[in-house]
């Protein structure tokens, strides 16, 4: 039976969001950093489809590559709320630059959750310093959100594995030095389609590991995706992350955490849409009146601000649940990504409507908001996957039933 207004959670405290003074101080420092080191390059990044070395260097100097790495591995030890703050502030100006840090987390999270101490000591300090760039290679031509559907194989030979397969849409695949790679070490078991996947650490210079090509895309320009081919790639047994055959859990739990940051990235896009629209409505005139004096524009802006704040609250709520160690963060993270990415798209369209023809000019930076928002609805699990996660979590928790 469904009980009370807190459904599907246990009590009202599950709806709490707590932010400390240190979070506000961090936000101010990131905002200042963005204004000085990212904003001057934002349009250039999109137009040239390249993030300048100066931007990469500034992220490394500030230690943002290791934002989520614990201090014992030379990282900043940031929590999920800090991560969302960072994602929103950066993405307000350049969602593509945020991808750099987000992709590091797709390597960092598996090691923190399932890696050995030797793996953590070998890679995490070097990521935190910016010495190496990390990435995550799971998606294949026939499997993306369907993690259990991957076809790449890894065959055990004595004390190592031999990996063969193709990975595609791999963010930072063209520049990364080390990858988390998923491959099948055994066939799925009856009723356990996810079984048999194993995750590995694979270094770029390993024989047989090839960057086949970079793929052209119309959003998040500057942050590239690549197709990777693995042909008899020999990986030592010590590079297995987690237990052999249980890599599905490694990948899915990584995405559970990473999608909180993607929701924060969507907040940045939505916030930019609101800020740019309000500024334009104040300075643009039509029929001898400011745009903001038209009731239709007032309604637009009011709705946009309300939806931005709704998305922000659910995103910070998911981050706080994760920081508390509550398993409810999984369903909250899916809700946050679902809501925030939809809001980012809707507000980008509204911003184009408000700006009219100017909103479609590349120099305005408005049409870029819409292009960028589309990718956010796809990676780290599509909008439809988030809906499936929400309902499956709900049915399992309340009724002990897992839909097929």
Q: Would you name the residues annotated as active-site residues? A: 380
C-alpha torsion sign, points 91, 128, 382, 43: positive
**Angstrom distance (rounded) from CA 19 to CA 41:** 31
277: its two tokens: 């629209």
Report which of 60, 113, 105 is spatially closest to residue 80, judged by C-alpha positions: 105
Element housing 155 (H / E): strand 153-157
**Angstrom distance (rounded) from CA 96 to CA 322:** 25
**Angstrom distance (rounded) from CA 319 to CA 18:** 10
DSSP per position, 266-324: HHHHHHHHHHHHHHHHHH-EETTEEGGGSHHHHHHHHHHHHHHHHHHHHHHHHHHHHHH
**Angstrom distance (rounded) from CA 72 to CA 109:** 15
**Angstrom distance (rounded) from CA 260 to CA 266:** 10
DSSP per position, 214-268: EE--SSSTTS-EEEEEEEEEEEEGGGEESSTTBHHHHHHHHHHHHHHHHHHHHHH
């Amino acid at each position: 039976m469904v009980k009370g207004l807190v459904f599907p959670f246990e009590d009202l405290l599950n709806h709490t969001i707590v932010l400390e003074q240190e979070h506000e101080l961090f936000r101010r420092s990131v905002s200042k950093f963005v204004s000085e080191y990212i904003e001057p390059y934002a349009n250039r990044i999109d137009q040239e489809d390249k993030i300048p070395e100066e931007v990469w260097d500034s992220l490394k100097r500030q230690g943002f590559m290791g934002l989520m790495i614990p201090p014992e591995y030379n990282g900043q030890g940031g929590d999920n709320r800090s991560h969302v703050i960072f994602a929103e502030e950066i993405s307000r100006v350049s969602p593509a630059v945020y991808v750099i840090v987000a992709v590091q987390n797709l390597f960092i999270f598996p090691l923190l959750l399932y890696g050995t101490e030797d793996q953590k000591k070998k890679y995490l300090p070097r990521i935190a310093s910016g010495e190496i760039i990390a990435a995550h290679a799971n998606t294949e031509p026939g499997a993306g959100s369907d993690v259990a559907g991957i076809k790449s194989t890894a065959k055990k030979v004595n004390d190592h594995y031999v990996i063969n397969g193709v990975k595609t849409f791999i963010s930072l695949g063209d520049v990364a030095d080390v990858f988390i790679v998923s491959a099948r070490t055994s066939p799925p078991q009856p009723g356990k389609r996810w079984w048999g996947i194993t995750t590995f650490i694979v270094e770029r210079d390993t024989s047989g590991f090839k960057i086949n090509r970079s793929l052209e895309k119309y959003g998040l320009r500057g942050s590239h995706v690549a197709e990777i081919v693995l042909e008899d790639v020999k990986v030592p047994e010590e590079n297995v992350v987690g237990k052999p055959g249980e890599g599905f859990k490694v990948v899915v739990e990584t995405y559970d955490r990473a999608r909180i940051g993607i929701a924060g990235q969507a907040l940045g896009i939505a916030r930019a849409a609101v800020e740019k629209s309000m500024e334009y409505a104040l300075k643009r005139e039509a029929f001898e009146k400011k745009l903001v004096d038209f009731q239709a524009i007032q309604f637009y802006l009011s709705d946009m601000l309300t939806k931005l704040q709704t998305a922000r609250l659910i995103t910070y709520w998911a981050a706080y649940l994760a920081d508390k160690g509550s398993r409810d963060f999984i369903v909250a993270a899916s809700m946050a990504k679902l809501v925030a990415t939809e809001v980012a798209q809707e507000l980008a369209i509204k911003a184009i409507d408000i700006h009219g023809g100017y909103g479609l000019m590349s120099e305005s930076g408005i049409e870029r908001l819409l292009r960028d928002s589309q990718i956010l609805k796809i990676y780290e699990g599509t909008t439809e996957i988030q809906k499936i996660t929400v309902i499956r979590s709900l049915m399992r928790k309340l009724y002990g039933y897992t839909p097929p």
